[in-house]
Structure 1
Amino acid sequence: MTRIIGLISGTSVDGIDAALVDVLGSQTDLKVELVAGKTFPYPANLRSQILSVCSGEALSMAELAQLDDAIARQFASAALTIQAKYDTKAELIGSHGQTVYHRPPKTGEKYLQDGLMGYSLQLGRGSLIAELTGITTVSNFRSADIAAGGQGAPLVPIVDACLLAEPNHSLCIQNLGGIGNVAYLPPQENRENHNESEISALGDGILGWDTGPANSLLDLAVQHFSGGTLTIDVGGEWAASGTPCQALVADWLAQEFFRLPPPKSTGRELFGADYFDRCLVEASAYNLSPADVLATLTELTVASIVGSYQTFLPAMPDRVLLCGGGSHNLYLKRRLQSQLHPVQVLTTSEAGLSVDFKEAIAFAVLAAWRVRGIPGNLPQVTGARVPVLLGEINSCWHSWA
């Protein structure tokens, strides 16, 4: 058993999700126990700066270095705090960091020569986290997959398969962060017969991709219509009081991203402030109330998810398990259940894996695989040419002095 801390701040930039977990086994025998989980909000000024950078605000190199260090210090503080009251301390940290820029690769055999590789930047450098905590830290998980021609995302489906796959049912694990992503898990029978080194066998039939916006546009709308006094629509109650404009949803679904086949990934670079501003302009032609706009943006999330399942899955799943902050949006969940009927829509918590800390748990697992020399990506999900080791190992003087 290894005690590991998983850390991540997603595209919603709500704060740092920290999971203190005990990890047993490797892949087909993987088991995790969540010892503690907590979200640590960013200081308001730091969150504001991160969101500005995600929206394309220019930074000098000195300002970028300062932001990188400020985020790393927040991540290190979260790691130290989450384990403070426990006698058994973590041996390893897996830190995803804070994504501030994501550019998917363009497909084609000459992507290297033509400079069409993807690029993804996560701030909160692992070397500083390791020094501040005295704990070896694995970070920068996406770069190796991107170097192998992949999207660098999503990386969690293989962990989902190890922890959530069922022998008799196909599942879609739908993460609802700022950006939505799905992992499709076919029934996994006889997993105990898989050799640990056979990641391709374990990954048979698993699919995954980013589905589009989840909370990113909704949060921007809430902030806009509340004059900055609110950041989220708790439970989706505001949206539930409105009526979605289906004609507007149909127009928005014509966006090229929704038609692209997987592998595919996206971020605030596409579904961010500029996109929201265009949505507002287009909504004005329909004289929608704020509640109607929220309901319509919710419907866009629902329609993009359902449409991607119908278009890109070999068959509709038996069950959908929601996770991430959007899983608490009861209106969104009801709309998904309505559009996916008769497919059952549940949450990962109902399957034994926390909806709020599943992603942090996944990066704890990926860190464990990195130090054990186990590849962590699935080429059919990310588009990489081969499975690769994910993450850079950052040790500190505490570990060898």
Structure 2
Amino acid sequence: MYCLGLISGTSVDSIDAALVKITGKELDLNIELLSGINHDYPDKLRATILEVAGGKPLSMEAYAQLDEAIALCFVEAVDKIKQNHPNIELIGSHGQTVYHRPPNQENIGYTLQLGRGEIIANLTGITTVNNFRVADIAAGGQGAPLVSKIDAYLLSDPEKYRCVQNIGGIGNVTYLPAKKEDNWQKKVMGWDTGPGNMLIDLAVQKFSNGEKNYDKNGEWAAQGNPYLELIEKWLKHDFFQQPPPKSTGRELFGADYLEQCWQDAQKYNLPETDFLATITDLTAASIAHNYQQFIKHPIDEILLCGGGSLNLYLKKRIQAHFPGSTAVRTTDEVGMNSDFKEAIAFAILAYWRYVSKLPGNLPQVTGAKQERLLGDIHYPL
């Protein structure tokens, strides 16, 4: 079956679209990536999304307009793929997260992804599955991360203990024990590790007066040196101490948090390059901190994916926090495209929902009370 996965992450850098050919049954799948593109939002729409995700209030009319505008951009991404691949049979659209509140003692969890699935289905003529996270939250889960079940069945190794580390705006990990272990599936773990690219991107935008959105290859940060005393201070944040299951987003590690970090740095008179190196190393150090706190078995490989896997300085800093026998690689090196892995995941989740009728969540990862079918199905007119 030809399935198209769509997602725009918390960085709001683009809509990722990945067309895959899925063969096999239930959990025993073969995945072939046929096409992948990045479709940019118009600048004005991207700015609005970032404002809303940062807490700007909206009227209901403005909310509806934003929801529809995002859906139409997702449709544009589908149309681009369809030009060369008109045989798409199913779409799995994550949409655009603008708000995420994990459950806690005071609140039931809540998550909101915009980009209406019914619009995508009707305008493309293709059955569309969206709204993947709410069923897990309704079952008491975090609604994230949702890729861990896919990681388990596509990237586990008979002998090696792996961590699949996605670095988007927020970082998340799937811990994969070696398949030689008894009941290895039950030992799979996953959670959000904290900031990924988000703080780095915000710092670059701040220092470049908006002329740059990200640090290409980490070249700017590589000119500085991380200030370890600041990183140790920041790692005392409550989120880093909280055991899994846990998830986070722009609400916790967004512009306000970066400003707090910048104020913390003022007493040390750090130049911009050193601050960028330090905020980059916070992502690397927080990944290492999470693994050391919550994973008991030595890790043979860390497989990076997402936009952060292209940041060579960040990759170097992650390796520096694992100086022993742990190899830091990318998922490309084991046969899974690192740029489009998240989009591929939502194509598979849609397939599991629509074709296989299989639950898409792992309760030990999200904290849900039970497995659930994920996603709402929208049929075209």
Give the TM-score normalised by structure 2.
0.97
**Structure 1 residues 334 and 190, CA, compared in 2 at 3 Å: closer, same or farther?**
closer
The answer on 1:154 being equivalent to 2:136 is no
Check if 1:145 corresponds to 2:136: yes
1:27 shift after superposition = 4.4
C-alpha displacement at 1:190, in angstroms? Answer: 9.7
Structure 1 letter corresponding to 2:341: K
Q: Which residue of 2 aligns with 1:256?
A: 238
Deviation at 1:28, TM superposition (A): 4.0
Residue 282 of structure 1 pairs with residue 281 of structure 2: no
The residue that corresponds to 2:172 in the other structure is: 181
C-alpha distance in structure 2 between counterparts of 1:374 and 1:230, whole Å: 42
In structure 2, C-alpha distance between the alignment counterparts of 1:326 and 1:27, rounded to whole Å: 31
Q: What amino acid does structure 2 have at the position aligned with 1:148?
A: A
Amino acid at match of 1:24: T
Q: Could you tell me how far 1:117 is from its partner in structure 2?
A: 1.3
Paired residue for 1:306?
288
Counterpart pick for 1:105 among 103, 106, 111: 103
Alignment correspondent of 2:163: 172
3-state SS of 1:230 partner: coil
Alpha-carbon shift at residue 84 of structure 1 (Å): 1.4
C-alpha contact (below 8 Å) 1:241/1:291 kept by paired residues: yes
1:118 to 86, 109, 117: 109
TM-fit CA distance, 1:86: 2.5
Q: Secondary structure at the match of 2:137?
A: helix
2:255 equivalent among 256, 263, 273: 273
Cα distance between partner residues in 1 of 2:357 and 2:116: 21
Alpha-carbon deviation of 1:169? Answer: 0.6
Structure 1 residue aligned with 2:365: 381
Distance in 1 of aligned mates of 2:332 and 2:82 = 22
The corresponding residue for 2:352 is 369
Check conservation: 1:151, 1:383, Cα contact below 8 A: yes
| 2:177 partner letter | P
Equivalent residues in 2 for 1:318-333, closer than 5 Å: 318-333=300-315
Match of 1:355 in 2: 338
| Alpha-carbon distance, 1:339 to partner | 1.0
Q: Give the alignment's Cα RMSD to 1 decimal.
A: 1.3
| Range that drifts further, 335-344 or 24-33 | 24-33
Unaligned ranges ≥5, structure 1: 108-113, 192-200
Residues 383 and 79 (structure 1 numbering): CA distance in 2 closer, same or farther, change over 3 Å? same
Letter of the 1:155 partner, please give it: L
Q: Deviations over 1:194-250 (max 9, x none)?
A: xxxxxxx67321100000001000000000001111111000011011011111111
Q: Which residue of 2 aligns with 1:163?
A: 154
1:189 Cα deviation (Å)? 4.2
1:235-287 Cα shifts (integer Å, max 9, x gaps): 00110110111111111111100000000000000000110111111111110
More displaced 10-residue stretch of structure 1: 311-320 or 52-61? 311-320
| Residue 58 of structure 2 is aligned to residue 75 of structure 1 | no
Contact preservation (8 Å) 1:26, 1:369 = no
Instruction: Figure out how many residues of one structure are paired with residues of the other and give that number.
Output: 379
Counterpart amino acid of residue 311 in structure 1: Q
- 1:233-244 mapped onto 2 (5 Å cutoff): 233-244=215-226
Aligned partners of 2:320, 2:227: CA distance in 1, in Å? 17
- CA contact under 8 A between 2:177 and 2:184: conserved in structure 1? no
Q: Identity over the aligned pairs, expressed in percent?
A: 57
SS at match of 1:25: strand
Report the residue type matching 2:268 in the other structure: Y
> Which residue matches 2:38?
39
The answer to whether the 8 Å contact 1:28/1:202 transfers is no
> SS of the residue aligned with 1:362?
helix
Which residues in structure 2 correspond to 1:166-245 (within 5 Å)?
Answer: 166-189=157-180, 203-245=185-227
Mapped contact 1:101–1:121 kept (Cα < 8 A): yes
Whole-angstrom CA distance in 1 between matches of 2:99 and 2:336: 29
What is the match of residue 380 of structure 2?
Answer: 396
- 8 Å contact kept, 2:100–2:110: yes
